[in-house]
């Protein structure tokens, strides 16, 4: 089957879980990172997908989208670029790929929550056309980037 995504972007295989989990651990402290079993479930579940970015067979980044087909919303669960490869446009490419998948599935909106303190991610989302829908003061159980507050951001596809 033809790959619908930009070059270097593929649907994750569950056999790639160790590389994916290694990036998650590099990107987030353990108390807020997804566990390996949570990530595995998100790769395998019918209502979510994981896309990886690969270069020379090395997985450098991934994005997970969970679908709510009743409300026609695609939810960006997480986007992780290995710190060794950040600031090279991979995050933007993964977001575009997620939007391709959402449009193929007929959903109308992409939504996400991001820590109010995560300025690089907020900048990435703004650059991709996301707008702040609301601020949620106590979204995280633990401090995340020194705050429990999150911004819910949305983009019409
Ligand atoms: C947020 C993240 C995914 C960005 O990925 P990336 O591949 O480095 O981003 P890109 O190179 O595609 O950058 C695209 C735009 O995002 C913004 N951006 C990315 N990193 C930034 C930084 N450190 N500071 C400020 N703006 C930043 C810029 O607007 C950038 O455009 P520019 O390069 O023209 O300035 C990456 O930093 C990451 O994985 N962080 C850790 C995990 C995380 O916080 N994920 C988000 C969870 S909600």
| Residue whose tokens read 């599935």 | 105
Ligand 1 atom with the shortest distance to the CA of 95: 12
Does the residue 90 lie in any domain?
A: yes
Domain count, the chain: 1
**Per-residue pLDDT of the chain in tens (157 residues, 90 and over written 9):** 457 899 999 999 999 999 999 999 999 998 889 999 999 999 999 999 999 999 999 999 999 999 998 999 999 999 999 999 999 999 999 999 999 999 999 999 999 999 999 999 999 999 999 999 999 999 998 888 999 999 999 999 9
Does the residue 4 lie in any domain?
A: no
Range of the domain at 117: 9-156
- Per DSSP, the three-state class of 1 is coil
Ligand 1 atom with the shortest distance to the CA of 121: 1
The first and second tokens of residue 77, run together, are 């669960």
Nearest CA to ligand 1 atom 20: 120
The first and second tokens of residue 148, run together, are 């429990």
Does the residue 96 lie in any domain?
A: yes
Residue from 96, 120, 154 to probe ligand 1 pocket by mutation (most atoms less than 8 Å from CB): 120
Does the residue 66 lie in any domain?
A: yes
Please give the Cα distance from 20 to 27 (Å, whole number): 11
Q: How many residues appear in the chain?
A: 157
Does the residue 3 lie in any domain?
A: no
How far is the centre of ligand 1, averaged over its atoms, from the C-alpha of 140 (Å)?
21
Asked if 66 contacts 110 with a C-beta cutoff of 8 angstroms, the reply is no
Residue ranges around ligand 1 (CB below 6 Å): 27, 78-81, 86-92, 114, 118, 120-121, 123-124, 127
| Residue whose tokens read 């060794």 | 84
Here the CATH number for the domain that contains residue 95 is 3.40.630.30
How far is the centre of ligand 1, averaged over its atoms, from the C-alpha of 33 (Å)?
18
């Amino acid at each position: 089957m033809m790959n619908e995504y930009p070059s270097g972007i593929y649907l994750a295989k569950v056999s790639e879980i160790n590389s994916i989990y290694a990036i998650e651990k590099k990107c987030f402290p353990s108390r807020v990172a997804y566990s390996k079993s949570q990530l595995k479930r998100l790769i395998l579940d019918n209502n979510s997908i994981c896309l990886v970015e690969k270069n020379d067979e090395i997985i450098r980044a991934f994005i997970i989208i969970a679908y709510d087909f009743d409300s026609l919303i695609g939810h960006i669960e997480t986007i992780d670029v290995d710190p060794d490869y950040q600031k090279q446009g991979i995050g933007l490419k993964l977001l575009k790929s997620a939007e391709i998948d959402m449009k193929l599935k007929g959903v109308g909106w992409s939504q996400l929550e991001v820590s109010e303190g995560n300025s690089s991610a907020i900048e990435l989302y703004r650059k991709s056309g996301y707008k702040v829908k609301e601020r949620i003061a106590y979204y995280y159980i633990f401090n995340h980037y020194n705050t429990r507050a999150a911004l819910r951001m949305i983009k019409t596809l």
